[in-house]
Structure 1
Amino acid sequence: MKLKNWALLLAFGLLLSVLVACGGGDGGTKESSDNAEQGATGTEDTATEGENVLNFVNGDQIPSMDPSLATDEYGFQFLGATMEGLYRLGENAQPVEGIAKDHEVSEDGLTWTFTLREDAVWSNGDPVTAHDFVYAWQRAVNPETGSEYGPYMMSGVIKNATAVSTGEAPVEDLGVKADGDFTLVVELENPTAYFESLTTFGTFLPLNQKFVEEQGNKFATSSDTLLANGPYVLEDWESTSNSWNLVKNEEYWDAETVQLDKMTYEVVKKPQTGVDLYEAGTVDRAPLSSDLVDQYATHEDYTVEPQTSIFYLKMNQTRNEALANKNIRAAISRAFNKEAIVNEILNNGSLVANGIIPADFSRLPEGSPDAGKDFREVSGDLVTYDVEKAQEYWEKGLEELGTDTVELELLGDDGESAKVMGEYLANQLSTNLPGLKVTLKNVPFEQRLDLDTAMDYDLLISGWGPDFLDPYTFLNLFLTDGENNKMGYSNPEYDELINATTTELATDNVARYENFLEAEKILFEDAAIAPIYQKAVAQLQSPKVEGVIVNPFGPTYEYKWASVGSAE
């Protein structure tokens, strides 16, 4: 999930959210923090006796609740709670029944036929049908929609998705058809082993065509212009809201499984404010910044939650000529102390990242020489902190550029944690690379997404959370002109290796992983990005929060099976 950044996916304000993908900011912080304290207290006071209610903070506003347009963790988190696709993730990231009861796959792996349940309805009472999936998927790749994730998730997977998304074919040519109201037939471009898990992702959610078209430009901008077909309904929300609620959807086909009556959310951008609310009993979970970890590490409610999200510096090769130089990029990627970042700045269990595939995410398949071993272990450390080597690359780069000074702008979120991270990186780069001047630009989370998409930055603190359990979810980010590349990187050899994993090697998992290993090495030989850390979240969480599943991809938290236990 892009966790855009899941890729996102996932910036440093994430420390202040209930998860990954993306961070918050200080723009309007006083108002947001004050509202959070007052609002959360108010929600607790209005909860009636006997209700099963949990209260949480969120690191920023929700940028979009439109499944075709969402690109970030916040959007996908709340889409996952209020909507349901063909399948949803259960324990151990295994797909479980959603709108689909089962499916069949043709012998060649190209045709998937899903049998849908007939008792699923939208929150307005309309049945959820195969036509809703056809409409939603076509809408996601229709170039008029302007979706980032539709083309990204479907191209090379769903038949004709690339041609449709580029305007070379009509949307009706997309390989998805309704065979009656409750049978969905999907044709794939190539066999895709992870397609079942892909159907759990937010971009593949259904949409009620009549409702969407009635709402027009207002669709998904407020609670009144949304429909739910999942465990919860989003209430009291507008696109600029600093508070909202998830309320049990009584129309959900499996409503009897859902035990929570309500979850309340308040935008809180300052970690200390979240902790104050937690200590007051107003909220049930509070992410901790590094200074608070030292204070609360011995607290009985202290927990560390490992994640599979990777944070890194994107280096835009198109806006600043210095970053078009491989030696300059290689210098930057080696010139900051990552151990200090994870141990002192983050101080929350995060790990140093020396590659793009996270640790404990994917293992080499049976038949490989290293079968069963973790991908990260086999691939090794591809770029490490090394000031001496960084300066060697730097001197070569400056000589090639014919200059002795370089000025770069570092773009990041405006939350407290993001600012500290940005200041540290700017100081490290300027100190360790003589002649480099780094200026900081901190903006609200949603603006950072826009600047990233527009490629209006030099250096960008970015992050990515996986969309499915396969290295391809990370490595396809850097394909030439890819929807999530947005930094001008291009290497035909890299493209060939990655594209082969979804075409001629699609059914040969051993060969696929060999390509993944080789491609990751090329990515860092080219110094395309500078990895920083693999995320973990340190937080205080009430013991009464029970049954919450933490997903390795997609929405970080699954609340369908959550409940309120005893806090004693």
Structure 2
Amino acid sequence: MLEMKKFIIGSTMVLMAMGLAACGKNTATQTQNNGTTKPINWMASAELTSIDQSKIVDQVTSDTVLNAEQGLLVNGNNGVIRPGIAKSYQVSKDGKTYTFHLRDAKWSDGSKVTAQDFVYSIKRTVNPKTASQTSYDMDHILNYDAIQQGKMSYKSLGVYAPNDKTVVFKLSNPEPYFKYLVAEADYLPEKQSYVESQGAKFGTTSNNQIYDGPYKITGWTGTNDTWMLEKNNQYWNAKNTKIDKIRMNVEKDANTALNEYESGQLDEMTPSNKQQVSHFKNSPDFHTLSDSRITYIALNFNRIPEFRNRNLRKALSMIINRNQFLNNVMGDGSFAAKGLVSKNISSYKGKDFADASYVKSAATYNPSEAIKYWKKGMKEVGKKTINFNILYDDSSNGKAMTEFLQNAAFNKLPGLKVTTTNIPTKSRLSRQIAFDYDATITGWVTTYPDPISYLELMTTHNPYNFVRWSNHDYDKLINAAETTDANNPAKRWDDMVKAEKILMNDQGIIPFFQSAEPQVVKTNIKNVGHSAAGFDWDFSNAYIKK
């Protein structure tokens, strides 16, 4: 889970900007008439969860924290890796040793950022007592497996600091995308003395955290839907941080967000339905950004035993008219997913992974075949009726998705009764992690361009395998791609393609759609970074055009 190299996503597309033109009143300004600093107002699709670096599980929190904290490297605009706290690094010829050299940097409390801060943080994340949901991001670091099996102490993890300015990683196997991982939230540094002084309160509010990045998070109490990013004057590159304050506003209702944007209360928003996209389509505000988000439906095999029947799963997928939903409800450029891995994220010899691994029958609307599979499956499980509930977010888009599935798709299957539950994102994530649902809409967004980011999700023991699906051959192929074939691009590609086909032929998940990123932004906000596989919004180089 989430998102780190990947994240569970919410129902409203999260926002990013690259400096677009405005319509209406131009409110994005940093100076009021009385000379005081005025924040720009940015829309967020969901509330923050935990800003403890080791416990971040969702994209909104990750994007917020990665603007306030900085790791060894930064996954910047358009996915280009740039130096962060590390000014340089080297990789050994065998790809198993990474050595990072740190620049002079400070925490927001004025103390120095040291190599030991990185070592402590990463080992804390791997420590089973921390209960991190993303420690598997460290699975290639030496001794990780033995630590997870209880055979070694977390202190034996293969990362160390020979001095205050050097961090060294020893890997058990080469990891082609490791440079992207160290730019993620769970590789951020943590100052041991500060963490220990805060105890259980660490990262639970903005006052229980310190920051080494361009901004500080302020005004977050742990439950509220508005918080601030304020310039961190202790940041090593503070002279190039041009925007002093960004107010983040959670907007769950599409009409409220639209009204606030047009009245000047928001300087950026994400149009969230067909009507809103059409409203802005010809405006100079409007832009569509690239995205790697895949939304899919997970069926909890343990809660509803009938979901273990492959024919019933195939029927549930085939009965969904994805294009009807995307064209008539979303209308934002999102398109039907071909599988678990998003399109345009990775290719080999000119072939996109989503095309190479496509299993048409697992992601295509075919109502007549759906009825056949459903009747066959019902006979096999010995049932005449099945009831289940779909869990998702309480935003406008979240409700639209569950209502469509309930009323325009699944109700066509005889003997099936579906109810829906829509709750706040934070509560939904907690229930997903606890496997407390019958079926749920979920999704994944990667922060590095590799199919393994998605495919790892469905390995048997992954904490985000919300289906509890398990396949020995699948696990074996993913393991080969991560170990014995890691330095062989052709074999590794073949491993991953075969694995995705196993998953989709067995209908382990129900693919739904790949997101588009419609956005409107005031004309004078410039140079906010964005990457389909990385930051949704990076304010470190943004500025206000006077």
Q: TM-score range by the shorter chain?
A: over 0.9
Q: Trace 1:373-392 onto structure 2 (pairs within 5 A).
A: 373-382=351-360, 383=362, 384-392=364-372
Q: Trace 1:391-470 onto structure 2 (pairs within 5 A).
A: 391-470=371-450
Give secondary structure in 2 for the equivalent of 1:486: coil
Instruction: State the TM-score, normalizing by the size of structure 1.
Output: 0.90
Partners of 1:539 and 1:344 lie apart in 2 by 19
Give secondary structure in 2 for the equivalent of 1:101: strand
1:179 — aligned with what?
162
Give secondary structure in 2 for the equivalent of 1:396: helix
Partners of 1:489 and 1:519 lie apart in 2 by 13
CA contact (8 A) 1:202 1:554 kept: no
What letter corresponds to residue 256 of structure 1 in structure 2? K
Q: Trace 1:137-152 onto structure 2 (pairs within 5 A).
A: 137-150=122-135, 152=136
User: C-alpha deviations, 1:28-51, integer Å up to 9, x for none?
Assistant: xxxxxxxxxxxxx9x989796485
1:82 equivalent in alignment to 2:68: yes
What letter corresponds to residue 479 of structure 1 in structure 2? T
1:247 to 209, 230, 241: 230
Q: Trace 1:142-541 onto structure 2 (pairs within 5 A).
A: 142-150=127-135, 152-155=136-139, 157-290=140-273, 291-364=275-348, 371-382=349-360, 383=362, 384-541=364-521
1:18 equivalent in alignment to 2:18: no
User: C-alpha deviations, 1:171-201, integer Å up to 9, x for none?
Assistant: 1110101101111110112101111111101
1:546 equivalent in alignment to 2:526: yes
1:367 — aligned with what?
none
User: C-alpha deviations, 1:122-169, integer Å up to 9, x for none?
Assistant: 01111111100111001101111110012x2112x1111222234331
CA contact (8 A) 1:88 1:200 kept: yes
Cα distance change on mapping 1:48 and 1:94 into 2, 3 Å: farther
Q: 1:109 deviation in Å? A: 1.4
CA contact (8 A) 1:47 1:53 kept: no
Partners of 1:425 and 1:141 lie apart in 2 by 38
CA contact (8 A) 1:212 1:219 kept: yes
1:60 — aligned with what?
46
* Sequence identity (%): 35
Q: 1:373 deviation in Å? A: 2.4
CA contact (8 A) 2:342 2:354 kept: yes
Partners of 1:511 and 1:147 lie apart in 2 by 32
CA contact (8 A) 2:30 2:544 kept: no
Please provide the CA RMSD for this pair.
Answer: 2.1
Structure 1 gaps, min length 5:
21-40, 365-370
Partners of 2:446 and 2:288 lie apart in 1 by 20
User: C-alpha deviations, 1:536-563, integer Å up to 9, x for none?
Assistant: 1223211212111112234311111111
CA contact (8 A) 1:429 1:438 kept: no
Partners of 1:319 and 1:532 lie apart in 2 by 21
Q: Trace 1:101-120 onto structure 2 (pairs within 5 A).
A: 101-117=87-103, 119-120=104-105
Partners of 2:526 and 2:449 lie apart in 1 by 25
What letter corresponds to residue 332 of structure 1 in structure 2? L
Partners of 1:202 and 1:294 lie apart in 2 by 36
Partners of 1:484 and 1:205 lie apart in 2 by 21
Cα distance change on mapping 1:437 and 1:44 into 2, 3 Å: farther
The range that moved more, 298-307 or 242-251, is 298-307
1:24 — aligned with what?
none
What letter corresponds to residue 173 of structure 1 in structure 2? S
Structure 2 gaps, min length 5:
18-26
What letter corresponds to residue 11 of structure 1 in structure 2? G
User: C-alpha deviations, 1:241-273, integer Å up to 9, x for none?
Assistant: 222111111111111221111111222211111
Cα distance change on mapping 1:507 and 1:47 into 2, 3 Å: farther
Larger RCO: 1 or 2 (CA < 8 Å, sep 6+): 2
Partners of 2:100 and 2:330 lie apart in 1 by 44
Partners of 1:11 and 1:386 lie apart in 2 by 28
CA contact (8 A) 1:69 1:148 kept: yes
Aligned length: 534
CA contact (8 A) 1:53 1:564 kept: no
What letter corresponds to residue 342 of structure 1 in structure 2? L
Partners of 2:371 and 2:450 lie apart in 1 by 35
Partners of 1:549 and 1:48 lie apart in 2 by 30
Partners of 2:216 and 2:246 lie apart in 1 by 10
1:98 — aligned with what?
84
Instruction: State the TM-score, normalizing by the size of structure 2.
Output: 0.94
Partners of 2:468 and 2:355 lie apart in 1 by 29
The range that moved more, 258-267 or 49-58, is 49-58
